[in-house]
């Protein structure tokens, strides 16, 4: 996955901020990507949950920085660590389809976050998962935000752009 990520985005990361997550449970391990960002002059960031209905915010992270455990067993940078505005967000998921739709953990955090970030700037969303997490079709609703790219340990999937006009 790390090679696939840097093969896809490596030339575009200098001076950019990449937000990811600290894996819990059986989530695919994105920590090697986080650790490799500094070598490419990019800033790594991790999410911070503010409340149940708001978007995530992000704080900078470097290898060796302490993290604190919060709700749902999630790890976040400590308070006081500088905030970060991501250019690219690596999104965890439970399931995905080839159209770039995902099933998360049901809180809507990443959908709200991506929608909020994209109101102010161009932010790319990259879903990461094991190949076996692909589903034929993920049901969606108006609040769901599709992913721009999906990376598994075996494949890179670039969903087709929806060019329909409302």
> What tens digit of pLDDT does each residue of 52-80 get?
788 999 999 999 999 999 987 889 999 99
Please give the structure tokens belonging to residue 69. 């455990």
Query: What is the reported pLDDT for 166?
Result: 40
With 70 as the cut, is the pLDDT of residue 164 above it? no
Helix (H) or strand (E) holding 89: strand 88-91
> What is the gyration radius of the CA atoms in the chain, in angstroms?
15
Give me the pLDDT at residue 97, please. 97
pLDDT at site 137: 97
Cβ atoms of 148 and 159 within 8 Å: the answer is yes
Instruction: Give the model's confidence band at 162: pLDDT under 50 very low, under 70 low, under 90 confident, else very high.
Output: low
DSSP state of 69: E
Residue whose pair of structure tokens reads 């790219």 in the numeric block: 149
What pLDDT does 29 receive?
96
Helix (H, G, I), strand (E, B) or coil at 149: strand
- Report CA-CA distances (Å) from 146 to 3, 66, 158: 23, 32, 11
Encode pLDDT of 3-35 as tens digits. Answer: 999 999 989 999 999 999 999 989 999 999 999
Residue range 77-129, pLDDT digits in tens: 999 999 999 999 999 999 999 999 999 987 889 999 999 999 999 999 999 99
């Amino acid at each position: 996955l790390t090679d696939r990520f840097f093969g896809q985005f490596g030339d575009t990361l200098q001076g950019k901020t990449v937000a990811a997550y600290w894996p819990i449970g059986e989530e695919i391990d994105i920590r090697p990507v986080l650790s490799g960002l500094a070598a490419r002059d990019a800033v790594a960031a991790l999410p911070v949950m503010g409340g149940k209905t708001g978007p995530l915010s992000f704080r900078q992270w470097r290898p060796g920085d302490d993290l604190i455990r919060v709700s749902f067993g999630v790890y976040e940078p400590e308070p006081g660590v500088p905030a970060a505005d991501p250019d690219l967000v690596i999104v965890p998921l439970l399931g995905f389809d080839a159209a770039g739709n995902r099933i998360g953990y049901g809180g809507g955090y990443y959908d709200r976050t991506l929608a909020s970030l994209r109101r102010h700037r161009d932010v790319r969303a990259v879903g990461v998962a094991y190949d076996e997490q692909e589903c034929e079709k993920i049901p969606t609703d108006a609040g769901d935000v599709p992913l721009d790219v999906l990376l598994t340990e075996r494949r890179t999937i670039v969903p087709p752009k929806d060019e329909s006009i409302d």
